[in-house]
């Protein structure tokens, strides 16, 4: 990641500056980083899951937000733009700048950001007391990693599909919001490139 602006900013300066920018920027330790555009599969996955969640959450007091919603980790930042976030907190329903109390955060992985999403970004998200699940969705093949916070405060990984379940039959469970759906729905209408087969040498 490369800082997009050389001068360091306070959180308030970042929020005021970001509100006037045509592009989204994340904020970490006083520096801002321009968000890169995602691929079409990346976008389709986020749209599929948001569509499934909207019907489930309607009337529950929880709300799903798309990629233009910032999440504030702490008073002094960082601020991130996840691909999808769910909050069930009353204060977030009146918020205008950022979500402060997320229950679920979803990141659709891109090759350029996957390492950061799995590593340092997850460490920072874990500072949010209300966060219960952190979900990473592969955009190049069927595969979802869900990290859940246990009652003991530990984070446990559940992978979908698991070793015993075929990808087409696997069911994604998001326990924080009492939601489940087939993985096929998350990846609906996506076609991944088939791996190239090695050429067979002709033997005369």
Structural domains of the chain, ranges and CATH numbers in brackets: 1-35 (no CATH), 38-186 (3.90.1570.10)
Q: Look at residue 35 and tell me whether its pLDDT is greater than 60.
A: yes
Nearest to 69 by CA among 106, 114, 44: 106
Range 158-191 burial, b when 16+ CB lie within 10 A, else e: eebbeeeeeeeebebebebbebebbbbebbeeee
CA dihedral 149, 151, 154, 159 (to 10 degrees): -40
Segment 72-91, tens digit of pLDDT? 999 999 999 999 999 999 99
What values do phi and psi take at 76, rounded to 5?
A: -100, 20
Half-sphere exposure of 61 (CA within 13 A, CB side): 5
Average pLDDT over residues 171-185: 95
**Tokens 């979803």 — which residue?**
106
What average pLDDT does the segment 38-56 reach? Answer: 93
| Per-residue model confidence (pLDDT) at position 102 | 98
Residue 9's pLDDT is: 94
pLDDT of residue 146: 98
């Amino acid at each position: 990641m490369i800082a997009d602006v050389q001068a360091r900013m306070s959180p308030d300066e970042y929020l005021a500056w970001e509100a006037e920018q045509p592009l989204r920027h994340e904020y970490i330790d006083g520096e801002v980083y321009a968000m890169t555009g995602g691929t079409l599969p990346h976008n389709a996955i986020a749209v599929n899951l948001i569509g499934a969640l909207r019907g489930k959450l309607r009337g529950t007091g929880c709300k799903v937000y798309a990629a233009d919603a910032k999440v504030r980790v702490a008073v002094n930042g960082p601020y991130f733009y996840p691909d999808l976030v769910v909050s069930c907190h009353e204060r977030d329903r009146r918020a205008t700048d950022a979500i402060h109390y997320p229950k679920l955060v979803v990141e659709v992985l891109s090759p350029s950001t996957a390492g950061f999403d799995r590593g340092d970004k997850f460490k920072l998200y874990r500072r949010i007391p209300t966060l219960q699940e952190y979900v990473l969705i592969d955009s190049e093949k069927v595969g979802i990693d869900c990290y859940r916070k246990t009652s003991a405060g530990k984070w446990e990984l559940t992978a979908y599909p698991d070793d015993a379940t075929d990808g087409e039959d696997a069911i994604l469970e998001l326990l924080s919001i009492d939601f489940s759906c087939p993985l096929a729905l998350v990846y609906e209408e996506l076609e991944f490139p088939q791996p190239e087969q090695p050429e067979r040498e002709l033997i005369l």
